[in-house]
A = this chain, B = another copy of it.
Amino acid sequence: MLNVTVRDHMMIAHSFRGAMFGPAQRLHGATYVVDACFQRPVLDADNVVVDIGRASEVLHALVGELSYRNLDDEPDFAGMNTTTEALAQVVGDRLADSVRAGDLGAGALEIDGLVVTLRESHVAWASYERPL
């Protein structure tokens, strides 16, 4: 298997509901350094997994939809704890839609797996892996 990963980031505010979250129940925020990994069994005719320029642009647009926002006010996340792992899933599923819609080019339809990792600090991060 071959894979290519590109990195971007987003800065958001949010709060969590549930006693287990302790002080994180208060409104606070996070920088998420976001890694999007594209997987496929063999390289294409150009010897790439994905057009890395387009992959970077698609990821940048996708984190731009979330960035510089208070997620507590976003209708998409009403009543949802936007934990690091939950946001990794959101980004991963939106990225999958984007790949299938052809946003990364026709060749990218051969991509059969994605891994999205969100790093919230130097000591904690979360990932979401899914087939495509």
| Nearest CB in chain B: distance from A118 CB, A | 10
- Check A122/B7 contact, CB under 8 A, given A20-B46, A128-B2: yes
Q: Which of A107-132 contact B (CB under 8 A)?
A: 120-130
| Nearest CB in chain B: distance from A70 CB, A | 4
Instruction: State the oligomeric state as a number of copies.
Output: 6
A88 partner, pick from B2, B28, B30, B123, beta carbons under 8 A:
B2
Within 8 Å of chain B (Cβ to Cβ): is A98? no
Q: Which of A1-53 contact B (CB under 8 A)?
A: 1-9, 11-14, 16, 18, 20-24, 26-33, 43, 46-49, 51-53
Alpha-carbon distance between A88 and B1 when the two chains are bound, in angstroms: 11
11 further A-B pairs in the complex, CB-CB below 8 A; given A4-B126, A13-B29, A26-B70: A1-B129, A4-B84, A11-B29, A18-B46, A20-B51, A26-B69, A27-B73, A31-B121, A47-B86, A48-B83, A48-B86
